Amino acid sequence: MDHRAQVSEFLRTRRDRIKPEEAGIIGGGRRRVPGLRREEVAFLAGVSVEYYARMERGDLAGVSSEVLDSIAKALQLDDAEIDHLADLARAAGPPPPRRRTRPGEQTVKPTLQRFLDSVTGAPMWVRDQRMDFVAANSLGRALYAPLFDDPANQGNSARFTFLDPAAQTFFPDWERNADDIVATLRIYAGQNPLDRRLTDLIGELVTRSETFRRRWAAHNVRHHRAGIKRIHHPAVGDLELSYEAMGLPANPEWFMFAYTAEPGSASEDRLKLLGSLAATTPPKTDVRK
């Protein structure tokens, strides 16, 4: 991915979505752009037109945090977009010192797996920034069983969502789920522009999925921290689950998700049934195996 192009397209798409009246600009004559003009963004941010034009051409090198904050306010960015802009600016600077990866650092520690396995009433699983499943408890594996049914998915939720037809049945809110995955991958790509495995995954999905390609071109970003997930499970039927996402400080690229059902609901009953079915399946220590 070309970094300057990513910066340019992100800023342009944010500018295009804002109507002049939403930014307090009245009139302005005939317009050839769907949203704000560059000079209007520059005025709102308190920078010169030339300076903002340089930024929108993809050059964020040396841009101060104060200017980034002003641009964020002018473009009415939300928290995820502000973080993404900061990541893009960070990537425009000199590369950080290369950190040596300790042997075994990316393996699942027995203590983490024991913790996951100790939770028996809620599906729990861990994924990395490339959307690869890393580890799960028994109920977590059972919940996402369709993802593992096809080896072509390679234990990757993005491949499952965009390349496996089963995903559109599994996720009743498939459109929203697809939006969330692409927006989250945008965040990670901004944080790790040199991650070859991540860029290879994005390149594969852009090439093989028109629906992914269209969403990727929108440059939307979103934090994936909590929400509701609706699933149509082939073994137990419809589930509506709340989820919480947690970072793992020992492995900064890993995120743990925990799902719960509303007490007394049909989803809780079906989740308990899924747990009973999962209890008959021998556990695996690594969901990628």
pLDDT tens, per residue, the chain with 289 residues: 688 999 999 999 999 999 888 888 876 567 777 889 999 999 999 999 999 999 999 999 989 999 999 999 999 999 999 999 999 999 887 655 555 444 335 689 999 999 999 999 999 999 999 999 999 999 999 999 999 989 999 999 999 999 999 999 999 999 999 999 999 999 999 998 889 999 999 999 999 999 999 999 999 999 888 999 999 999 999 999 999 999 998 898 999 999 999 999 999 999 999 999 988 865 544 454 4
pLDDT number for residue 95: 57
Measured CA to CA, the distance from residue 128 to residue 255 in angstroms comes to 6
Percent helix, strand, coil in the chain, to 5, is 50, 15, 35
pLDDT number for residue 101: 44
| Token pair recorded at residue 37 | 């003009």
pLDDT number for residue 96: 53
Measured CA to CA, the distance from residue 253 to residue 251 in angstroms comes to 6
Measured between alpha carbons, how far is residue 15 from residues 23, 46, 93, 182 in Å? 11, 16, 24, 20
Measured CA to CA, the distance from residue 4 to residue 211 in angstroms comes to 24
Look up residue 57 and give its DSSP letter.
T
